[in-house]
Amino acid sequence: MDPEIGAQIYPWIVWQGQRVRGKEAAKILIEQQLRGLELLTARGVQVKINSVLIPGINDTHLPEVNRIVRKKGAILHNIMPLIARAEHGTHFGITGQREPHAEELAAVRDACESNAGMMSHCQQCRADATGMLNEDRGGEFSMAKVEAMTIDPQEAMAKREAVRTAIVRRLEKTPPTASRSVVVSMRPQATREILRIAVGSLNGRTIDAHFGHLRELLIYDVSTGDVHLIERREIARYCHGATTCGDSDAALEGAIRALHDCALLLCSRVGFTPWRALENAGIEPNSEHGGEPIDDALRAVYAEWRASGRLAVSLNRIQSISA
């Protein structure tokens, strides 16, 4: 509810086609969230609010959030602990923000306890709560019972691999939705102020793809007055499914080789491990333009690089590759 706090959580938003940052972005986002809550409750929709507890940022503010959302008609307010793991590639994970202790989480939940029906046995609003809203049955499924189970690890891994192989084969049989363009020379452009940028896009119009889920890269040459798609490069997927990533070093190495003549990679999301590998290879990962039209994002990045002087550095790198 406080833009000062919101700006520490949401660095930017896209509002009416424009990227807005800082307190202004937080103010707009809060206003729209509250407006959405009011419109839904006015129409008889039961609304549950999720809040993530971030120590040192919003921990003391959440009781005020709870008071306001209850006043506006929310029937549930679920306060979840922040997950800040560097391997997930999230902002708070990379910057070292600590997660809340169990005692801190319990204290904030106690401070927000109300007739709104606070749920305490749902930890992350995923598949981690057993029972009904007013009946926690988690104790029936304890770790002691899990440890007492007899599982053949080799059989379990073989079954897992068989399922994964079947999924991969099915995906490989799925025909691509976009038509292939003519592949041009891989030789880097170095005769003009051209910046070669790879883009992750599933719809071919906006930057909407997670790096780990890509099976092809759109390669663009960008100059002062021109954005030109020069080719589509196929790569192996780094991730399979929502949670299985990083199992294939070969896939990541192949993707980086496919980007050898590119200065940047624009995607909606890039995980921590590939982000670090890309940087080590001299390729700048960029997720600042997720959701934006490709042409607009490419022109904005080009302008930023030219204004900062990084374009000249990139040209020197490309010339060394061409030599």
pLDDT for position 239: 74
Task: Name the residue type at position 11.
Answer: P
Counting beta carbons within 10 angstroms of the beta carbon of residue 95, is it exposed (0 to 12), middle (13 to 18) or buried (19 or more)? exposed
Model confidence at 182, in pLDDT bands (50, 70, 90)?
very low
pLDDT (0 to 100) of residue 308: 84
Q: What is the pTM of this model?
A: 0.53
Structure tokens at 318: 């490309």
pLDDT at 8 over 90: yes
H/E element holding 13?
A: strand 12-15
- What band does 117 get if pLDDT is binned at 50, 70 and 90? low
Read off the pLDDT of each residue in 120-125 and give the average, rounded to a whole number.
55
| Alpha carbon distance 226, 210 (integer Å) | 26
Give kind and range of the element (H or E) at residue 135.
strand 135-136
Task: State both tokens at 255.
Answer: 């993707």
pLDDT band of 187, cuts 50, 70, 90: very low
**pLDDT attached to residue 40:** 94
Percentage of the chain modeled with pLDDT above 70: 79
- CA-CA distance, 93 to 86, in Å (whole number)? 4
- For residue 286, is pLDDT > 80? yes
Note the pLDDT of residue 21: 87
Give Cβ neighbours of residue 173 (< 8 Å, ≥ 6 apart): none
User: Mean pLDDT, to the nearest integer, of 181-207?
Assistant: 69
DSSP for 79-112? EEE----GGGT-HHHHHTPPPPPHHHHHHHHHHT
pLDDT of 174: 60
Burial class from Cβ neighbours inside 10 Å (0-12, 13-18, 19+) for residue 238 reads buried
Which pLDDT does position 190 carry in this prediction? 37
Please, which pLDDT band fits residue 172 given cuts at 50, 70 and 90?
Answer: confident
38 and 73 Cβ atoms separated by less than 8 Å: yes
- Bigger pLDDT: 242 vs 38: 38
Tell me which of 147-161, 163-177, 203-217, 283-297 is least confident: 163-177
Q: Report all structural domains of the chain as residue ranges with CATH numbers, in order of start.
A: 3-138 (no CATH), 195-322 (3.30.420.130)
Residue that has been written with the tokens 């002062």 in this structure = 224
Residue 80: C-alpha distances to residues 62, 64, 142 (Å) = 11, 16, 21
- Please give the structure tokens belonging to residue 108: 């904030």
CB-CB neighbours of 46 under 10 Å: 10
Taking residues 186-191, report their average pLDDT: 40
Q: What are phi and psi of 196, to 5 degrees?
A: -95, 125
Going 85 to 87 to 88 to 90, the CA torsion angle's sign is positive
Which residues make beta-bridge pairs with 24?
none
Tokens of 192: 């003009």
Of residues 128 and 88, more confidence is placed in 88
134-148: per-residue pLDDT in tens? 677 777 767 777 677
For residue 299, CA distances in Å to 54, 255, 292 come to 35, 24, 11
For 30-63, what is each residue's pLDDT tens digit? 999 999 999 999 999 999 899 999 999 999 999 9
Per DSSP, 51 falls in state E
Q: What is the pLDDT of residue 128?
A: 55
Terminal-to-terminal C-alpha distance of the chain = 56
